[in-house]
Amino acid sequence: MNKVRLEKLNLFFTQYTLNPREYHAKRGMNHYKKLWERSRILDKDFKYTEKSIAQLVKLNDELYKVEINAWVYLKRLKSEGNGLIKRKLLDDYMVSPKFEFFTKSKYYTKINKEMDSNPLYEIHATFFDTKKIHFRNWNELRSVKEHPLAKLKMCYSFHCLFFDSHLAKADLIRINDIWFDIKVTHQVLIKLS
């Protein structure tokens, strides 16, 4: 793959990360092929060094801490929401956890000059509903003994980034900031007839 093609794919990646939903609505499903193509090209040349392994392990560890703390907090939010429904103060509620990943790397075209870093990816964390998800090893590389991450106990969020996202390994080691959001929507139905 020539350098020009990779530059075009990187530009596409930058445009996509600016507003993935809007970009998806305009371009349709074809953009995913380009994102995965970019990832495959970059992953082919990726070298697992001590530094890159340490960065990936740190990312996994930090995500795991957030998952555990968020799970405890979400249990409390659900209990409060159910209590409000029982007392007829709400008809329903929604809890929407979300991870957002950012980078300060100069490798990427700066999207918004006013922001400190670029958005890379987001995970809508609907998986927080079950306790089992947090205590399982999600590493699909366990059986690949020679892989440098084979022994890493992966949390589910890291699994989503590493195996299921269009991010290349080089993107993952450039993540500088993780923003975790929990939005609670209280819903009340008013019947007029």
Pick from 13-22, 63-72, 87-96: least confident: 13-22
Do 141 and 95 share a structural domain? yes
Number of domains in the chain: 2
In this predicted structure, the answer to whether residue 92 has a pLDDT above a threshold of 90 is yes
pLDDT tens per residue across span 135-173: 788 999 999 999 999 999 999 889 989 998 888 999 999
Residue 164 belongs to some domain of the structure: yes
Q: Give the N- to C-terminal CA distance of the chain in Å, as an integer.
A: 64
CB 88 within 8 A of CB 177: no
pTM assigned to the model = 0.81
Q: Are residues 33 and 124 in the same domain?
A: no
**Phi and psi angles of residue 147, each rounded to the nearest 5 degrees, phi first:** -75, 135
Across the range 127-135, mean pLDDT stands at 63
Please tell me whether residues 86 and 64 are part of one structural domain: yes
Residue 182 inside a domain? The answer is yes
- Structure tokens that stand for 169 in this block: 């390994």
In sequence order, what DSSP letters do the residues of 26-90 get, joined into one string?
HHTTHHHHHHHHHHHHHHHT----HHHHHHHHHHHHHHHHHHHHHHHHHHHHHHHHHHHHHTTS-
Instruction: Phi first, then psi: give them for residue 125, nearest 5 degrees.
Output: -85, 65
Inside any domain, residue 193 = no
- Is the pLDDT at 53 greater than 90, yes or no? yes
Pair 92, 22 in one domain: no
Query: Beta partners for 65?
Result: none
**Structural domain harbouring 84:** 48-187
- Domain co-membership, 11 together with 65: no
Which has the minimum average pLDDT: 15-24, 91-100, 108-117, 134-143?
A: 15-24
pLDDT confidence of 114, banded at 50, 70, 90? low
Q: Do both 99 and 181 map to the same domain? A: yes
Same domain assignment for residues 118 and 34 = no
For residues 101 and 164, membership in a common domain is answered with: yes
Same domain, 3 and 57: no
